[in-house]
Amino acid sequence: MARDKSPKRELLIELLIDKIPKELHIHFPHRWWFIGDVLITTIPEKLKQYRSAVGEAFLQLEPKRARTILGKTGPTRGITREPSFDYLAGDKNTETIHKELGCYFKLDAAKLTFSPGNHFERERMLDAVKSDEFIIDMFSCVGNLSLPIAVNKAPKQIIAAEINPYAFKYLEENIKLNKVTDVMKAIEGDNRVILREFEGKADRVISGYLHSDEDQIRQAVRLCNEGSMLHYHVAITARKEIQTETIMNIKKIIQAEGRVCTKMIRKRVKKYSPGVEHIVLDIVIN
Ligand SMILES: C[S@@+](CC[C@H](N)C(=O)[O-])C[C@H]1O[C@@H](n2cnc3c(N)ncnc32)[C@H](O)[C@@H]1O
């Protein structure tokens, strides 16, 4: 991810300085990142009427890497987490193949979530997983968290659930593209319903959605076998009492399911929004 005082930003300013009125220069983009050959930047409201100029400047800045330029205009929406991106410049086809951790993630970068800020979490999962595990990814998207495991580790089986038909199409395609059909299987639908047949079977459950409801947490716990690891992702304010309340709540749900939490470790994944963090709780369930 490129940032404030990098030489690239200096170059970006040079490319834009004559194209945008002086009083708007303080709004020049500060951040941009790549999903495959799609470059995404933040585009403040004040620069919206200059979106083509901003897009063209990025195409010049990254001629080898960027085919399409998108601008983030707002938060990710709804249960399918559709991003709010505006087309700025370049090729209008926003389907791309992002390469990371030895995997090919094919996706429509304008319509589906793939967070660069989750890179270290994707990598961390590779260290955590042991051979021969039965793993369930409850919120798979295009395989964001579980595909690297299938490609780089030796799981017994990965079951990947996804409710959004558009994400599911890419998930299935990515399983084939990465030649892991022998260990990874995609299932389409609501994880509260479609995963019931796997209750008590998982060695590891990945719950990678920041706004799970109580039924989804219950389902995650039910999937766990004795001593299984649940990776529960949540967006939470930095305030200690709220964090304590969230943890107590999860412990209560685990107890209500007749299970025990024998270990819980909290890890920070990234900043989610002002005052809110994306954290993951690694919970051992017995
Ligand atoms: C924010 S994405 C997270 C992707 C990935 N776990 C990650 O961390 O990068 C959440 C995904 O869960 C899917 N989802 C939401 N509710 C679901 C449900 N009830 N059952 C299955 N998938 C669901 C969404 O469609 C979306 O693709």
User: β-strands 184-188, 157-162: how paired?
Assistant: parallel
Residue bearing the CA closest to ligand 1, atom 8:
208
Residues 73 and 123 in one domain: no
Contact 186, 138 (CB under 8 A): no
Evaluate whether residue 125 is within a structural domain.
Answer: yes
Three-class secondary structure assignment of 35-69: ECCEEEEECCHHHHHHHHHHHHHHHHHCCCCCCEE
Residues 157 and 234 in one domain: yes
How confident is the model over 181-236, as pLDDT tens digits? 999 999 999 999 999 999 999 999 999 999 999 999 999 999 999 999 999 999 99
- Total domains, the chain: 2
Q: Which helix (H) or strand (E) holds 107?
A: strand 103-108
Which residues in 155-179 are b (16+ Cβ under 10 Å) and which e? bebbbbbbbbeebbbbbbbbbebbe
Residues 156 and 203 in one domain: yes
Q: What is the per-residue pLDDT for 36?
A: 98
> What is the C-alpha separation between 255 and 218, in angstroms, rounded?
10
The answer, yes or no, to whether residue 283 has pLDDT greater than 70, is yes
Does pTM surpass 0.85?
A: yes
The answer, yes or no, to whether residue 261 has pLDDT greater than 60, is yes
- Measured in angstroms, how far is the CA atom of residue 220 from the centroid of ligand 1? 14
For a substitution probing ligand 1, which of 209, 219, 230, 231 has the most ligand atoms within 8 Å of its CB? 209
What CATH number does the domain containing 139 carry? 3.40.50.150
Contact 205, 230 (CB under 8 A): yes
- pLDDT exceeding 90 applies to what percent of the chain? 86
* Domain containing residue 27: 7-93
Classified as helix, coil or strand, 241 is helix
Q: What is the per-residue pLDDT for 240?
A: 80
What CATH number does the domain containing 68 carry? 3.30.300.110
Q: What is the per-residue pLDDT for 242?
A: 81
Q: How confident is the model at residue 1 (pLDDT cuts 50, 70, 90)?
A: low
Residues 89 and 117 in one domain: no
Pocket of ligand 1 (CB under 6 A): 79-81, 113, 115, 118, 139, 141, 144-145, 161-164, 167, 190-192, 208-209
Contact 164, 189 (CB under 8 A): no
How confident is the model over 111-166, as pLDDT tens digits? 999 999 999 999 999 999 999 999 999 999 999 999 999 999 999 999 999 999 99
- Measured in angstroms, how far is the CA atom of residue 81 from the centroid of ligand 1? 7
The answer, yes or no, to whether residue 3 has pLDDT greater than 70, is no
How confident is the model over 229-255, as pLDDT tens digits? 999 999 998 788 888 888 999 999 999
> What is the C-alpha separation between 9 and 31, in angstroms, rounded?
9
Residues 232 and 172 in one domain: yes
Residues 154 and 256 in one domain: yes
Q: What 8-state DSSP symbol labels residue 183?
A: T
Summarize the confidence of residues 44-64 as an average pLDDT.
95
